[in-house]
Amino acid sequence: GQQVMQIPQYQHVQEGEDFTTYCNSSTTLSNIQWYKQRPGGHPVFLIQLVKSGEVKKQKRLTFQFGEAKKNSSLHITATQTTDVGTYFCAGPEAAGNKLTFGGGTRVLVKP
Amino acid sequence: DGGITQSPKYLFRKEGQNVTLSCEQNLNHDAMYWYRQDPGQGLRLIYYSQIVNDFQKGDIAEGYSVSREKKESFPLTVTSAQKNPTAFYLCASSSTGTSQETQYFGPGTRLLVL
């Protein structure tokens, strides 16, 4: 079945620094979604990418969908303590209407 | 105030006991989902439903059961057959259930086996 992998599993970042987290699918995706889960909270939708090579920005967050539509990245600039949480990517299965979630990247920010 | 509600927030289960987790939405969404999240792990799909009176097994359905008698409600029962039920359970919904859609999550229920 489809697999969605995220690296790194953990990311310790100094406040003010930039970092990137990556999402890789075993199959070509029609779209990819990103969610953020704060500690003790529930996942909240951030963004959806649909087109090959698409880049979208949300303030300090930049999301990119790979040309082959099998990978995606999230880049955060000038990390703040509010960025703490787990970032999940999710891709739809080719057949059916289910999303497969990656294992997430847990981001810890050092002040 | 639209959204998804889950109750209770915390639930304790004794060995051999069935427990039911509630999930209600007032978003008028057709599709609803149940996920399990273990500490430090991702989300795994238990069951999902795209329409009233119909539901499908997800990746880890063994030991769980669901019903969808009303559009607004999708309760999950954790049966005694589920040998390791301690986890964080998340309910979600989406408009029509296609994989293109955003899923909206409830606040979750933390289940602990005593």
SS3 category, A56: strand
Distant-in-sequence, close-in-space partners of A50: CB < 8 Å, separation ≥ 6: A30, A31, A65
- Contact residues on chain A for B35, CB-CB shorter than 8 A: 101
User: Can you tell me the mean pLDDT for A79-101?
Assistant: 90
Q: Decide which of B13 and B46 is more confident.
A: B46
CB contact under 8 A, A42 and B58: no
**pLDDT tens for residues B87-107?**
999 999 999 877 778 999 999
- In a mutational test of the B interface, the residue from A5, A98, A106 whose CB has the highest number of chain B CBs within 10 Å is A98
- CA distances B2 to A86, B9, B28, B39, B63, Å, are 25, 19, 9, 29, 31
Contact at CB, A43 and B105, closer than 8 angstroms: yes
Q: What is the mean pLDDT of residues A70-97?
A: 92
Per cent of chain B over pLDDT 90 is 78
> For chain A, what is the mean pLDDT?
94
**Which chain A residues are Cβ-neighbours of B29 within 8 angstroms?**
none
A39 in B contact zone (CB under 8 Å):
no
pLDDT, one tens digit per residue, over B58-79 is 999 999 999 999 999 999 999 9
Question: How many Å lie between the alpha carbon of A75 and the closest alpha carbon of chain B?
Answer: 20
Q: Burial of B47 by CB count in 10 Å (0-12 exposed, 13-18 middle, 19+ buried)? A: buried
A68: its two tokens? 């082959």
